[in-house]
Amino acid sequence: MTPPAAWSSSWRLLRPAQWPILSAQLAVGVALALGAQPDPPGSHPAISWPTLAGAWLCWVVLLNGGTLAFNSAFDRDTGPVAYLAGPPVPPPGLHVWALLWMIAGAAGGAVVVSAAFGAVTAACVILSWLYSHPRTRWKGRPGLDLAVNMVGYGFGTTAAGILAGWAAIDRQVDGGGDLLWIGLGFGLLFGSLYPLTQIYQYEEDLARGDHTLATALGIARSLELSLVLGALAATALWKGTADPQGGPPRLLAAALALWLGHELALRIRWRMQDARNWERAMYRSLALWAAVDVGCVVSWLQRG
């Protein structure tokens, strides 16, 4: 019989405090899908709320929670990790249960949402395994770790939301090309964020011999990469949301300017930061991400 302490540790390693972040990004994809094509006056598409709830459960709780627990089962972190200040000791067999948790998300998504949603979720299960399992450990291969997070968290979460939105109204609407640009933009935006998720653990990773993107490039070059990817993200998001018949997406432009300004300030003052300040900088970036989300959705809905 599994002791209650093991259940408690497993639950904490699913990191439920991070779920609102993924929920918000999934909701962005849903909003983009539902707002892609205005309906005739007086006409409102019937939305299947159980479909959206199932998508949330499969993507946020099962896939994302399972991914984080699977990673923690092998990392055995002792210092702070994202949204978990004091990670517990992983219980025996956590990696098996976490993998089954993720597989359940993919299978459930295919049944409850759509085959396409299930396929995207299954692809991310494979990426999670490649990222964390000791046999492959893409997490320890700078460049591959960045690519996995850009595809999975940035592009994948947005795409999953779009597919869930289409499934909830039982039809695919116009705007697929622009939505692809937006998905690409959020993938690049996560790439811009990714170094900040490592820099605050820089000293701990060096001490353990972990070969991360941040330890490979150093702090200054990691921030320069963030700036480059942020600029590319801004270009893609602008292209996806700009209305050829109207004005530029000003709210989104302001949010992206704040994002790039924040990262530029960190690059200029990087020698003056300590681990605690770097962790705060990461959470400030997440708040700015929320501003980009709002700007993107508002700009999309205002298109002619």
pLDDT confidence of 17, banded at 50, 70, 90?
A: confident
175-304, superfamily in CATH? UbiA prenyltransferase (1.20.120.1780)
pLDDT confidence of 60, banded at 50, 70, 90?
A: very high
- How many percent of the chain have pLDDT more than 70? 86
pLDDT at res. 84:
65
Beta bridge partners of 84: 81
Q: Write down the domain spans for the chain.
A: 1-38+45-173, 175-304
Mean pLDDT score across all residues of the chain: 86
pLDDT at res. 129:
95
Tokens standing for 244?
């050829």
Q: What angle do CA 53, 73, 157 make, to 5 degrees?
A: 30
Task: Tell me the C-alpha to C-alpha distance, in Å, between residue 19 and each of 22, 24, 75, 125.
Answer: 5, 9, 20, 17
Is the pLDDT confidence value at 56 over 90?
A: yes
Is the pLDDT confidence value at 48 over 50?
A: yes
**Angle, to 10 degrees, between the axis of helix 219-241 and the axis of helix 275-301?**
10
Sign of the alpha-carbon torsion through 249, 251, 253, 255: negative
